[in-house]
Amino acid sequence: MLYVDGNWVEEGQLAVHPEDRGYNFGDGIYEVVRIYKGKMYQWEGHLTRLYRSAREIMLDLPWRPEELSEIALQLIEKNNLTDQDDASLYLQISRGTAPRVHDIPSGIKPVIMAFVRKKARPLEDMKKGWSAMLVDDIRWQRCDIKTLNLLGAVMVKQYAKNAGAQESILHRNGTITECSSSNLFAVKNGALYTHPADYMVLHGITRQSVIDLAKENGIAVHEEAFDITFLKQADELFLTSTTAEIMSLISVDGHPIGDGQVGPVVKKLQALFEQHINESVLV
Ligand code: PMP
């Protein structure tokens, strides 16, 4: 059961209008929300980011936050997710449908679409870590907006996959930004380093949870950009995202990071995160 433009529709019934601007231009925004044990994690944070993305692309959302919350809760209910289910919720808002011109047509009505999918947590991968490859950050200059236009992200991820790595680490002229669909952290002498939340990276919900957890537990966090040399000499590297959670990156371009295994700081943060999600979804 999906929610499309005000209606509940069965899978397979969906029709995208040929002149939907999300479809034609990637003109729209989205969120992916984690569902742990049938409950949404950090929904408020996702809502705040969604409204911010909308403002930044000059899109007036006609829905109040409570209406979007209601749609999300109904999706969980109608798809019979229980307290045994881990899942993810995808919600996208296209600017709407209008004859194809680049400027924003006046009076256009946004189109919302949302669905849930059962999705297991990547617990085995989190124990082993992933390999990464450095890739030129070919995306645009507003990576803080969670836009539907993801071709840059698709391409950099595929470059890494084609080269046999599991994830790409992106850099702009040698300055590390983030990964194809996650934020990146380096660990050096027990402290965390990550790119500041400016225009060059997405302001990840998991990134912020990790920063908060680290600070609460006496781990220093530096929101400072760093370069490729610093990256390669890090004691540990990890990425954060809604679906990958806290994932160690054990090698870059085939060279091991630290001793090439999931390190102690990542293990500690994973344990803190585990406790934190249990506490947040139990309430
Ligand atoms: N950076 C990029 C480019 C992303 O697409 C994402 C989300 N998949 C993230 C970071 C992580 O954000 P979040 O923790 O909110 O999932």
CA dist 281 and 37 (Å) reads 7
> 182 CA distance to ligand 1 centroid (A)?
4
| Cα(23)–Cα(32) distance, integer angstroms | 18
DSSP letter (8 states) at residue 155 = H
CA of 142 from ligand 1 middle (Å) equals: 14
Q: Enumerate residues 6+ apart whose C-beta is below 8 A from 206.
A: 182, 183, 240, 241, 242, 245, 246
CATH 3.20.10.10 maps onto the chain at 124-282
- CATH code of domain 124-282: 3.20.10.10
Contact 76, 35 (CB under 8 A): yes
Instruction: Point out the ligand 1 atom lying closest to the alpha carbon of residue 32.
Output: 16
Q: How many CB atoms lie within 10 A of CB 221?
A: 16
How far apart are the C-alpha atoms of 144 and 52, rounded to whole Å? 10
Q: Give per-residue pLDDT as tens, 178-218.
A: 999 999 999 999 999 999 999 999 999 999 999 999 999 99
Q: Which residue in 134, 84, 97 sits closest to 251, CA to CA? A: 134
> pLDDT tens, 52-86?
999 999 999 999 999 999 999 999 999 999 999 99
Active site residues: 146
Tokens for 40, please give them: 């949404």
First to last CA, the chain: 27
Nearest-CA residue for ligand 1 atom 5 is 181
* pLDDT value of position 283: 54
What ipTM goes with this model?
0.99
pLDDT digit string, tens, across residues 109-125: 999 999 999 999 999 99
Query: Which residue ranges have their beta carbon within 6 Å of ligand 1?
Result: 153, 178, 181-183, 202, 204-207, 240-242
Strands 255-256 and 245-252: antiparallel
Could you tell me whether strands 221-223 and 236-241 are parallel, antiparallel, or unpaired per DSSP bridges?
Answer: unpaired
C-alpha distance from residue 58 to each of 48, 95, 241, 280 (Å): 15, 10, 26, 33
pLDDT surpassing 60 at residue 162: yes
Assigned fold of 2-119? D-amino Acid Aminotransferase; Chain A, domain 1 (3.30.470)
Q: What pLDDT score does 12 carry?
A: 84
CA of 149 to the centre of ligand 1 (A): 14
Tokens of 237: 């590297």
- Facing residues of 8 across strands? 3
Residue 271 has pLDDT above 90, yes or no: yes
Phi–psi pair at 193, nearest 5 degrees: -130, 135
User: Rounded to an integer, what distance in angstroms lies between the CA atom of residue 15 and that of residue 12?
Assistant: 8
Q: In the chain, which residues fall in CATH 3.30.470.10?
A: 2-119
